[in-house]
Copies of this chain bind each other. A is one copy, B any other.
Amino acid sequence: MSLDFKILQTHGTARRATMTLPHAAIETPVFMPVGTAGSVKAVPQHLLEELDTRIILGNTYHLYLRPGHDLIRRMGGLHRFMSWPRAILTDSGGFQVFSLNELRKVSEDGVEFRSHLDGSTHFFSPEHSMDVQIALGSDIAMAFDECTEYPADYARARRSLDLTLRWAARSKQHFERHKHERPWPEALEGRTPSLFGIVQGGMYKDLRRESAERLVELNFPGYAIGGLSVGEPRALTREVIAETLPLLPADKPRYVMGVGYPDEIAEYAAMGVDMMDCVLPTRAARHGLLFTSEGRLNIKNRQYAEDQGPPDPNCGCLVCRRYSRAYLRHLMAAQEPLSAVLNTLHNLAFYLDTMSRVRQKIESAAPDR
């Protein structure tokens, strides 16, 4: 058994479930902090654990380029390399290849691209993406897809969706054949990683439907909705999610990639999304944007210079229990490295708490199944 997904309660379209992965049991709906290059930026792993983070995301593109998936395999996989004993989901590398590379060349076989680090030329195919993700030892790998840009006309979105489906089939075939070759298998007692498929189709309802239906025929253990948060209006994001979710098997995990603001992740969870990830809480933190129960707070603002209150009076995280807005503003102004650490810790706590509240709400509203 690679992935055990058990729905405990439902409430309207929302559902609370447990997902058992090789390295950890996750409670869903879950928000997954992004650890791009083997680190959730600025946060030591034991503090992530103290936040009750059960699963983080790793970026295949970044780790492939530096330090390299072969090195990570030799180090026993990403879990061991970064000393993170809980679950890891890796993306396929596709999104970064498309978003960080203007000189990419897409063919039926895959994508040629240049490293954003040194300009060197590389090639990702569905098979190669699987090899890299297996070398990293992820709990959940993602099929290699073409993330359709926004806006994209109908013909472009259709071509992209067709290519993504052919790549999904190739991803699955290669993954199933090689998934046992992950590093450090002895620690996992036969538990194997899982591969999720990705729905594309731009902002076109019929294409999303076609993408979902044909993807489901390939029978993945979980499904993601990709190609969102690429610049489209927020109402459209919501619409595509609402249209697509019912087309995905209700008994399997459903993951929306790359979203969102705190109110969005709560809303999407209520709609029935089980998993989400986003760089927003970590990236915004480094720019001084804090998410709180009272809204967004730009800690750089002069108005906080002598504000002795905590970042969020309703938050119990270690930052809000100990530090004032005045101090956090000073750290940012003085460009102290502690600024990123504390801001990120708070934002992650707020995101994880948001999902915890969503889960509690489902639990208290619904009878046991």
> A residues touching B (Cβ–Cβ < 8 Å)?
37-39, 41-46, 62, 66-67, 71, 74-76, 81-83, 286, 305-306, 308, 318, 322-324, 326-327, 330-331, 333-334, 336-338, 340-342, 345
Contact = CB atoms under 8 A, between A and B. Distances in A.
Closest 8 CB pairs of A and B: A42-B337, A39-B338, A37-B334, A39-B336, A67-B330, A83-B322, A337-B340, A83-B323
A42 B341 CA distance: 7
Contact of A333 (B67, B76, B318): B67
Q: Say how many copies of this protein the assembly contains.
A: 2
Contacts of A336: 37-39, 41-42
Contacts of A38: 327, 330-331, 334, 336
Contacts of A337: 41-42, 286, 337, 340-341
A102 to B, nearest CB: 22
Contacts of A45: 322
A107 B243 CA distance: 77
B39 A331 contact: yes
Nearest to A319: B44
Contacts of A322: 45-46, 83
B74 A306 contact: yes
Contacts of A345: 44
B67 A305 contact: yes
A71 B306 contact: yes
A117 to B, nearest CB: 9
Given A83-B322, A338-B42, A341-B44, A333 B74 contact: no
Contacts of A82: 327
A183 to B, nearest CB: 13
B324 A75 contact: yes
A326 B81 contact: yes
A120 to B, nearest CB: 16
Given A41-B338, A42-B338, 6 more contacts: A41-B336, A74-B306, A75-B306, A75-B308, A286-B337, A341-B341
Contact of A46 (B71, B318, B326, B340): B318
Contacts of A305: 67, 71
21 contacts: A37-B330, A37-B334, A37-B336, A38-B327, A39-B331, A39-B334, A41-B337, A41-B338, A44-B345, A45-B322, A46-B322, A66-B334, A67-B326, A71-B306, A75-B308, A75-B326, A81-B326, A82-B327, A83-B327, A337-B340, A337-B341
